[in-house]
Amino acid sequence: MNKGVWYALGAFITWGLFPIYWKLLAGVPALQLLGHRIVWSFLLLIGIILAGRQIILLRDKLTRRILLIYSVAAVLIAINWLMYVWAVGAGYIVETSLGYFINPLLSVLLGVLFLGERLRPFQWLPIGLAAAGVLYLTLAYGSLPWIALTLAITFGFYGLVKKMAPLGSLHGLTLETGILFVPALGFLLYSEFTGKGAFLHASPLIDVMLVGAGLVTVAPLLLFASAVQRIPLTTLGVLQYVNPTMQFLLGVVIFKEPFDQHRLIGFCAVWAGLILYGVEGFLTKRRQIVQARQGIET
């Protein structure tokens, strides 16, 4: 099997298992979890940069425009990380999975709205089905599935910003966490001085896991970046559903979160949209290949 596929599976399986990791840290306030995730991620990344003697290369690339782009990206990913760790700890794993099922179709819509990309007529149907699923859940429960939408919107716009960002994945993520490092560290120190800090005041396992938050954050991102360079985006697009599927199964089967008929109907609408989008893309690509072969033969 292609190395890129293994890298992609490693990234998506790691993300799919995230609920277990953050659930074990549910006793730590979400803002502190976010702070540790940022601080230890940055220290790990800057260590990699220094070990590779790339710090001067990164410094030379810094301009006001780049700092602005990555500041926006940093804010978006911080909101996404905070919402995710809070939701997992509060017992909303199923809804977080819905956010990452919605995200690919939302990203397509953002491409249309902000990048001038065009959809084929049939591609609007999957987006409509996903919107119908969200609308149904809103009407059924009397409120928007705001956790799922926050995760989908922040990650969707994060992807949009990153599409316009000039740095590579390693330098970009280092800069993003570097921008967040000082406020994150400041908050953790404040929590410690006010007697609310969890680090070194809980169990040794919790302390190790808080430090390990950097590794579990950075490792799948680097695996994903390696996968992107080695396999087609169509293959990556199919594999990405490993992540929300695993999260959904963990939420329902392992953590016994409620999944009633209303949620089933809403999720089915989103799933149907994803399936139709994938099938339409596959058939279109296949048709293009056949037409290209016919053109060569004539």
Identify whether 176 is part of a domain: yes
**CB-based burial of residue 51 (10 Å sphere; 0-12 exposed, 13-18 middle, 19+ buried)?**
exposed
Percentage, residues of the chain above pLDDT 70: 96
Give Cβ neighbours of residue 122 (< 8 Å, ≥ 6 apart): 276, 280
Identify whether 132 is part of a domain: no
Provide the pLDDT for residue 296: 66
User: pLDDT tens across 103-123, in order?
Assistant: 888 888 888 888 888 888 888
> Does the structure show a pLDDT above 90 at 60?
no
Please tell me the pTM assigned to this model.
0.89
DSSP tag of 196: -
User: pLDDT tens across 184-208, in order?
Assistant: 999 999 999 999 999 988 899 999 9
State how many domains the chain has.
1
Identify whether 236 is part of a domain: yes
Identify whether 106 is part of a domain: yes
CA–chain centroid gap for 211, Å, is: 20
Identify whether 264 is part of a domain: no
Q: Are 16 and 246 in contact (CB under 8 A)?
A: yes
Provide the pLDDT for residue 116: 83
> Does the structure show a pLDDT above 70 at 78?
yes
Give the residue carrying structure tokens 């609308």.
Answer: 135
CB atoms closer than 10 angstroms to residue 18: 21
Identify whether 294 is part of a domain: no
Identify whether 126 is part of a domain: no
User: pLDDT tens across 142-169, in order?
Assistant: 888 999 999 999 988 988 888 888 888 8
Task: Quote the domain boundaries for residue 191.
Answer: 3-119+146-259
Identify whether 271 is part of a domain: no
